[in-house]
Amino acid sequence: MQQNMRILGLDVSKSSVSACLLESKPNDPRQFYYECPFPSFSANSEGIKSLLALKPDVAIIEPTGVNYSRLWGTHLARAGVEVRLVGHKELRSYREHQLSLPDKDDDADALALACYYFDYCTQPRRFVQVRDFTTTRIRELVLRLAHLNRVQSPIINRLRQDLAWQFPEIAHIKSRRSVDGDVPLLWGWLCGERKSKRYDGLRDRSIGLGITSTVRHHARRLCDLQREEHSIEVELQELLGEEKFTNYRQVFKSFGFGLRLEGIILSQIYPLSAYFGADGKPEVQIRKGRKSGKPTKRHLSLRRFHSFFRACTVPRSVWG
């Protein structure tokens, strides 16, 4: 580590951050916590300006609440500040067991983040991997699709309940978006966007009590959500089509993974080389077993991969 580097620990809240700027690790972090002030900055233009005025060389952030930390991390990166991320579990263990700082305290977290850098700055695996733009964008798109799926479900359920007495003949018909992106025929017909002689005929002979404006409004909402889904899927398909993902997708194809599942897995594991050793190959150690005394292979790269992937959260709607 270079001399006289300014390290900024930054604990991010919903509308502000607590900061701790250090040029060296305190000899007694717990005493430092009680004696030194920790500036706080609001999420506005003045707050960003004041934070950047600290002129840090490196900023350490916990990636929880990504929608909040993204704002601060982006402004810091644009100002030329190196941004590193520390996992929640790693920070909690470090703060409690090595620094003995209070729990659930923003200032303590900011101090722990800054100290963490001094102890582990030469060990890249101690930090959360910062992914490139493409893989980050893929993850954003897949999570957005999962959100849209959750939003649509209660609307569809409400529609089917209303149609059960308004137009029971179509209440349980499944209608899907076309390959070229046209909204589902049923919802499009209900809100007047698409024509269908079949549904016209069923309506004329229906025993229902008539379609209300509420149903038509809900159908229009679904069409808007479906169009948004389609535009996201188009962008996702383009990003997944990049050459660097070809080998990965060939493997996914053998398992029959869909577009969304491919996206969420790629956004978590790419590149696989991140799990390898310094020589770019899978890291394997041979050690004597504690009980048997015989040489035993320890597949460290595979263990890292399994450990990381088990911690990943794949939205349930992605599997559909």
Clarify whether residues 122 and 28 are in a common domain. yes
Domain for residue 223, yes or no?
A: yes
Three-class SS of 182-200: CCCHHHHHHCCCCCCHHHH
Domain for residue 184, yes or no?
A: yes
Last residue within a domain, chosen from 126, 161, 195: 126
Six token digits for residue 246 = 């070809």
Q: Please say whether the beta carbons of 159 and 218 come within 8 A.
A: yes
Clarify whether residues 74 and 114 are in a common domain. yes
The Cα diameter of the chain in Å comes to: 84
Six token digits for residue 197 = 């002689």
Last residue within a domain, chosen from 126, 159, 186: 126
Q: Is 61 helix (H, G, I), strand (E, B) or coil?
A: strand
Clarify whether residues 142 and 234 are in a common domain. yes
Clarify whether residues 34 and 112 are in a common domain. yes
Among 136, 124, 95, 115, residue whose Cα is nearest residue 264 = 136
Alpha-carbon distance of 59 to 76, in angstroms, equals: 8
Domain that holds residue 24: 7-126
Domain for residue 253, yes or no?
A: no
Domain for residue 252, yes or no?
A: no
Clarify whether residues 112 and 137 are in a common domain. no
CB-facing half-sphere around the CA of 86: CA atoms within 13 A: 31
What pLDDT score does 274 carry?
A: 72
Clarify whether residues 222 and 293 are in a common domain. no
Domain for residue 246, yes or no?
A: no
Clarify whether residues 312 and 269 are in a common domain. yes
Clarify whether residues 114 and 155 are in a common domain. no
CA-based R_g, the chain, Å: 26
Look up the CATH number of the domain holding residue 203: 1.10.287.4070
38: left (phi over 0), alpha (psi -120 to 50) or beta: beta
Six token digits for residue 231 = 């535009």
Last residue within a domain, chosen from 126, 142, 172: 126
The number of domains in the chain is 3
Clarify whether residues 154 and 186 are in a common domain. yes
Alpha-carbon distance of 247 to 303, in angstroms, equals: 22
Look up the CATH number of the domain holding residue 35: 3.30.420.110
pTM of the model: 0.73
How far apart are the two ends of the chain, measured CA to CA in Å? 47
Instruction: Please list the ranges in the chain whose pLDDT falls under 70.
Output: 1-3, 64-66, 278, 289-293, 301, 304, 307-320
- For β-strands 295-299 and 284-288, DSSP reports them as antiparallel
What pLDDT score does 3 carry?
A: 66
Q: Please say whether the beta carbons of 9 and 20 come within 8 A.
A: yes
Six token digits for residue 128 = 């959360």
Domain for residue 248, yes or no?
A: no
Domain for residue 258, yes or no?
A: no
What pLDDT score does 269 carry?
A: 81
Clarify whether residues 216 and 295 are in a common domain. no
Clarify whether residues 137 and 200 are in a common domain. yes
Run of H or E including 8:
strand 7-12
Domain for residue 254, yes or no?
A: no
Clarify whether residues 138 and 154 are in a common domain. yes
